[in-house]
Amino acid sequence: MQDYLEKLNPEQREAVEHITGPLMVIAGAGSGKTRVLTYRIIHLINNNVSPFSILALTFTNKAAKEMRNRIDSIVGKNISRDLWMGTFHSIFSRILRMEAHKLNYPTNFTIYDTDDAKSLIRSIIKELNLDKDIYKVSIIINRISALKNNFITHDQYSNHQELVQTDKIAKRTEFQRIYAMYSQRCLKASAMDFDDLLLNTYKLLNNFPDALLKYQSKFKYILIDEYQDTNHVQYLIIKKLAALHENICIVGDDAQSIYSFRGAKIQNILNFKSDYPDFKSYKLEQNYRSTNTIVETANSLIKHNENQIPKEVWTENEKGEKIILCKCGSDNDEGRLVANTIFEIKMQDQAYPKDFAILYRTNAQSRALEEALRKQNIPYKIYGGLSFYQRKEIKDILSYCRLTINPNDEEALKRVINYPGRGIGNTTMQKLLVTANENNISIWEVMNNLNNYKHNINNGTSKKLVEFVLLIRNYQAQLENKDAYFLAEHIAKSSGVFGDLYNDKSPEGVSRFENIQELLNGIKDFCENTEVNSLADYMKDVALLTNQDNEKQEDFNKVTLMTIHAAKGLEFPYVFVVGLEQNLFPSMMSGESQEDLEEERRLFYVAITRAEKRLFLSFATNRFKWGQYIDCEPSRFLSELNTQYISKTEIISKQKNKFYNNKKQVLKNKFEKKNNTFKLPPNLKKLSTVTKNIKHSDLSKIQNGMKVLHSKFGNGKILEISGDEANKKATIFFENVGQKQLLLKFAKLEII
């Protein structure tokens, strides 16, 4: 039973075997922190600690799932199922559903995602006839979120004159009114947004001493992953819950604190010793992920931060190849460079697309990379794009399900009441909304008792509203005796959504229909693999999922494109960090303070430490922004890297991609500025100047591996010859356009 302890290094083992009292584990990148957290939970259970009394908080569903699977394999599912383990939002929503009545919410409250919240804000701005250019939805929703995370409710807003003054200067004098209406409409709809899950948990523990004592007594041992990413509300909730027993274990890395923009406070981990003076601290400094070259490069960067907990990450892994740093002429050149390098590594190292990740500072950088990858026929997946659960057809079905569970859900009602078309238009909805607001009730209550209210809705439309109410009531009648799969399938078919999509035979329509089937498959899987299988249980589960929680099998073997923020916690054999330019990375906004600059440096540290075997860094001297090319300077962070681990180059080779084949080139020790211009590599010149007067070569002489010249595509290399003499085809990799298959008798190739 103690075999798991033998798998730990001395520092890991000490942290695992520490049972009572506050504990801080500083875990460097790739040092096995998940293993430590997992084995510590197992060790607690093996030392007669009830799993019911253990609370483990993570930031992602993926992390929680991985930990639970490891625990299952050692102590068994019968024991691990009793653990309170999950994300902050999932655990707190579970507590709130049990205590909802204390806060005037029903147990079946809806959780509004960002789209729902924005939709409601948009409606309120329209109702108040406000200028949408001044009252931008994204600004309003971010401001409300920030206020909630600092415990400033809509009725407390006016007490903070600096906030009032800021909004006055920005001409947002109606902000408080919007905030108040948003809060009231959420309450009326029995809905909480993600920030409410935290804020209301704090209110529960702060305002109801009996509830606080209940959960303090219950959670005798508390473990928190990625503690450096906690915000102020999370910090205060944890502090309250841990106050009785103080058996709190935090695991984190101050060097990977990168989420201040969403409220994370690095001070939470830096000040842990002040909160718990009797704490015990362990440092996990051995890296198991990366080569020595990558580890030392990361160390050389992060040492420039003043505000940090001192540590020296090291590894016993092989030295590894030098990090390639490349200067590119433009963002398009950079894209082609990355795509060509991936192609060559795949061919030479027999690597898979899933082994590669391309990381960037902002999502806007993906365009040039996508174009280059498509030309090379390299499959890729962008993270941070449209989540499976944010697709229209999925949200439509889930909105029907939400409405079935909570008919007061205003956003779900507005979404589906006229889809598929029922003749209930915007004018009718506006009349219902006005009536509901005048009587301080939900739209559903108005629809249920149309005859009791003045609404100016004609008899024909009233009949359609009654029919819709009866449809939803029919679904509600089956909530208790039908499982989630049966009811969801019934809703999809009887609502008309299924038929509407089935009849659309366009490629987009077929794709949407397949997505609905995929959703139903997921619901069926949920029913078969959980003890609770009602529609309400499924909706509680799905409300807190992210796009990474629903990866399809076909997405696994693709090159990953993502922001560095999204990449935290992940690892890949080959990593490309692109766009390393001033005002892009570090961001233009980071120059305002030392704290901001240090966070940008930590972000670069996170990017570097995602790599296992090879790391490629690149920047462009010109980048297309705001409709024009602008000159760029290399990032200041590049000069902070230890040069002994770096190979610097430009893309200057006509024959070979220097990013990968750096061993055959003369490396430059420093970058040369040439009047702020960059000379394009010969293989990227206009083809008209390169490919004149081509002599067509004898077909019989063409063989695999030969280099050829094409009048349109330029230089290429023969990868494969196939077919009989009359229809012989060649698969050719062209430096400019990627892989092509040409019929030789028409190809007009010259052997070079």
Structure tokens at 565: 């923020």
Q: Are 338 and 576 in contact (CB under 8 A)?
A: yes
Give the active site residue among 12, 38, 234, 256.
Answer: 256
Any bridge partners for residue 583, and if so which?
Answer: 587
Average pLDDT over residues 236-262: 92
> What's the token pair of residue 741?
């298959």
Inform me whether the pLDDT recorded for 363 exceeds 90: no
Instruction: For 486-504, give one letter per residue: b (16+ CB within 10 A) or e.
Output: bbbbebbeebebbebbeee
Mean pLDDT of the 295-318 span: 93
| In 439-506, alpha helices (H) | 443-448, 459-476, 484-494, 497-502
Q: How is 28-68 classified by DSSP, letter by letter?
A: -TTS-HHHHHHHHHHHHHHTT--GGGEEEEES-HHHHHHHH
pLDDT average, residue stretch 163-186: 92
pLDDT at residue 368, rounded to an integer: 86
Which residue in 336, 395, 512, 610 is the catalytic one?
A: 610
725 is catalytic: no
**CA separation for the pair 214, 197 (Å, rounded):** 19
pLDDT in tens, 593-621: 888 999 999 999 999 999 999 999 999 99
pLDDT tens-digit map of 643-671: 999 998 776 433 334 444 443 333 333 34
Model confidence pLDDT, tens digit, residues 401-440: 999 999 999 999 999 999 999 899 889 999 999 999 888 8
Distance CA 225, CA 738 (A): 43
**87 is an active site residue:** no
At 466, list the tokens: 């009654």
Supply the DSSP symbol for 697: P
Question: What tokens appear for 485 in the block?
Answer: 């799969």
> Is 395 considered catalytic here?
no
According to the model, what pLDDT value does residue 671 have? Answer: 41
The single residue of 14, 34, 344, 349 carrying the catalytic annotation is 34
**610 tagged catalytic:** yes
| Catalytic residue check, 226 | yes
Catalytic-role residue among 11, 12, 13, 33? 33
pLDDT of residue 553: 52
pLDDT of residue 150: 84
3-state secondary structure of 57: strand
Q: What mean pLDDT do residues 528-557 have?
A: 74
Catalytic residue among 11, 193, 226, 229: 226
> How large a percentage of the chain has pLDDT more than 90?
55
Whether 507 shows a pLDDT value over 90: the answer reads: no
Chain-wide mean pLDDT for the chain?
Answer: 86
Which of the residues 225, 253, 396, 650 is marked catalytic? Answer: 225
Pairing of strands 622-625, 628-631: antiparallel
Mean pLDDT in residue range 66-89: 88
State the Cα–Cα distance between residues 715 and 749, nearest whole angstrom: 10
In the annotation, is 184 catalytic?
A: no
CB 372 within 8 A of CB 361: no
